Each structure stands twice: as C-alpha cells, then as structure tokens.
Homo-oligomer: A and B are copies of this chain.
Amino acid sequence: MARNTLTVLLVEDDRDLAETVVEYFALENVYCDHASDGALALNLIERHLYDGIILDLNLPRVSGLQVCEHIRHKGIDTPILMLTAKDTLDDKLLGFEKGADDYLVKPFAMAELMVRTQVLAKRKSGQVAKLTVKDLVLDIKQQEVYRDGKLLSLSPIGTKIVELLMRESPNVVSRKKIIQTVWADDPPDSNSLKVHMFHIRKEIDAAHSEKLVHTITSKGFAIKSSEDV
C-alpha cells in the first residue's frame, strides 16, 4: 500500500513564509517544492506530477489566477489550494471559477494548511477542461474522445458514460451510479447499458493491445491502465 508521503508545490513569493511552510511540511512527511513566481511554477508543474499545488494569489508578473487558469487549460487536474491576503467573497468566487479547489486566507494556522493540503491531495480536482487516462483523452467542452490522438466515434450517451468513468478513474463505478448519472429518473428497463458498454469497448479498445475498459464482476466498470490499483 502507498506510503503517506506527499509531494506538493508551493508557489509563493514571500520567501520567509515559504521557508516556514516547507519546514513545517517536512515534519509531517510532506515533501514540498517551492517556486517563487508564476512562470517558474508553470515550468515545474509541467515537468513533475504533484499531489497538490498551493498557490498564492498575489504573485509578481503572472498572477495566481492566471497560473491557475493556465494549469487547468493544460488539462492538469492536480488539486489547487489558493492563498490570499484578502478575504472578499468575490476573490473566492473568481478563484473557484478559474479552477481552484480550496481557499485559505492569510494569516492562517500551519495546522490548517497542512490538513487542507492532505485532504486535497487525496483526490483529483475534476476541474479540468480535458480528462486523460493514458492515451485516452476526453475534451469535456466538445464532448469528444480521442485515443492515441485519433477521434473516436462515440454516441452522446456513450460519451457521457466514458466521462463518468474517466472522472472516477481508476476506481470502479457501479452500474447503479452509471444509470443514475446517465438516465437520472427513467432508466431503460432493458440491457441498454450493456450494449453501450459494448460499443464503448469497441471504439476505445478494439484497435489497441492495452485495454483500458475493464469489467469488475458484480461491481461495475472502470477505465484505467491495466496495472493501476
């Protein structure tokens, strides 16, 4: 089972504060990279896979909001926690709109930042424009699915199912949940879901040796790379 060690990125121009955070996090076994401005941060984010990003709103040159927007635009769904000195509601709303997942107002207690970071890091953001599982990509806005760069021909319902499975990846999603998500209150009283899954499989996996669509008997379906837990 996975160790409790997390790797997060702190984007903060106040070097004193940054150092304090890094040291505090080290005590709790959280490894913390540090970037002092937005450009540097974006660079690091594209190179590494972080469990979470702590982002000061008030950065020189590129603002925190811009960085946030940029990250989401790239399809990176690492959870983001925003830090700010101000506490106006508008700031928060704007932050969430740009793709942040949580918000903390300066000054804050280290313990709270710690805990919020840990909670944050356990999940995916779900705030991205694109979902990616291996070489499978879903453009959420366009509702188009690509594998290995090639556009697949999925029906609207099929795409919805794939979206759900990709959001939950690598977890199993129960038939019940799929049905409720796709059909809401009036599910078909037939094996319609089975048929949709069949078509989805054909599109996503037929031409590839690595299968991404998996059935977990009596539990449901999952989209993930074969050896992911």
Contact = CB atoms under 8 A, between A and B. Distances in A.
A123 to B, nearest CB: 4
A203 to B, nearest CB: 16
A21 B111 CA distance: 30
Contact of A96 (B101, B116, B125): B116
A218 B156 contact: yes
A202 interface: no
Interface in A139-183: 141-143, 146, 149, 151, 156, 167-168, 171-172, 176-177, 180
A126 B52 CA distance: 14
Contact of A93 (B112, B137, B143, B180): B112
A111 B125 contact: no
A1 interface: yes
A2 to B, nearest CB: 8
Contact of A122 (B119, B127, B177): B127
Nearest to A170: B142
- Kindly report how many copies of this chain are found in the complex they form together: 2
Interface in A55-79: 79
Contacts of A171: 124, 141-142
A82 to B, nearest CB: 11
Nearest to A118: B96
Given A119-B127, A124-B171, A180-B49, A1 B92 contact: no
Nearest to A142: B172
Most buried by B among A49, A109, A151: A49
A115 B146 CA distance: 27
* 7 A-B pairs with least C-beta separation: A122-B126, A123-B126, A156-B218, A96-B115, A123-B123, A49-B180, A89-B109
Given A49-B176, A142-B171, 11 more contacts: A1-B149, A96-B118, A101-B119, A122-B125, A122-B126, A123-B126, A124-B126, A124-B168, A141-B171, A156-B218, A156-B219
